[in-house]
């Protein structure tokens, strides 16, 4: 099975929050192909800095996570156009970064793994989703 992890899923894993154990299980699963969108590296780095991590620590964490994935999906013109289409067909406002991540999952025929309320209204016929257990975000 192919999965594309959203930044919210990586944060849950990194911070050992609700849903983090589900992400760990995906990392350990035998026949699992894991991906992230290139944008996720930027989002994760920015969020870690907001949480107080030093730049050197952020770089280390990003490098370590990057090694765990089969692919870091580049955001090309096709994904940009798909993000626009997904945003147009989602009944509530979908932030641009989330639309791009959803489009990357769609492009790779992957299940989008997240803990992001913005992703919930994305129509399942456009992007298959696995929403992680939620708990208080720290």
Note the pLDDT tens digit of each residue in 23-59. Answer: 999 999 999 999 999 999 999 999 999 999 999 999 9
What is the C-alpha separation between 44 and 97, in angstroms, rounded?
12
Does the model's pTM come out above 0.85? yes
Q: 137 lies in a domain?
A: no
Paired residues of 72 in beta bridges: 36
Residue 136 lies in a domain: no
With beta carbons less than 8 A apart as the criterion, state whether 47 and 81 touch. Answer: no
- The proportion of the chain whose per-residue pLDDT surpasses 70, expressed as a percent, equals 97
Predicted pLDDT at 138: 43
Residue 136 has pLDDT above 60, yes or no: no
Domain with 14 in it: 2-131
Question: Regarding beta strands 71-73 and 111-114, do their DSSP bridges make them parallel or antiparallel, or are they unpaired?
Answer: unpaired
Distance CA 70, CA 87 (A): 27
Residue 2 pairs in a beta bridge with 33
CATH of the domain at 6: 3.40.50.1010
State how beta strands 111-114 and 129-131 pair. Answer: parallel
Distance, in Å, from the CA atom of 51 to the CA atom of 24, rounded to the nearest integer, reads 21
Confidence of residue 137 (pLDDT cuts 50, 70, 90): very low
What's the number of domains the chain is made of?
1
For the chain, what is the mean pLDDT? 94
pLDDT at res. 133: 87
- Name 43's Cβ contacts closer than 8 Å, sequence gap at least 6: 7, 97
Within a domain: 82: yes
């Amino acid at each position: 099975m192919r999965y594309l992890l959203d930044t919210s899923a990586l944060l849950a894993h990194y911070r050992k929050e609700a849903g983090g154990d589900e992400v760990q299980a995906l990392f350990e699963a035998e026949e699992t192909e894991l991906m992230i969108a290139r944008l996720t590296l930027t989002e994760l780095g920015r969020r870690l800095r907001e949480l107080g991590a030093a730049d050197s620590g952020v770089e280390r964490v990003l490098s370590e996570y990057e090694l765990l994935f089969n692919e870091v999906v580049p955001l090309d013109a096709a994904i940009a156009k798909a993000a626009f289409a997904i945003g147009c067909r989602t009944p509530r406002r979908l932030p641009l970064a989330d639309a791009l991540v959803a489009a990357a999952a769609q492009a790779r025929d992957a299940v989008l793994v997240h803990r992001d309320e913005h992703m919930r209204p994305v129509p399942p016929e456009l992007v298959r989703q696995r929403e992680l257990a939620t708990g208080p975000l720290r």
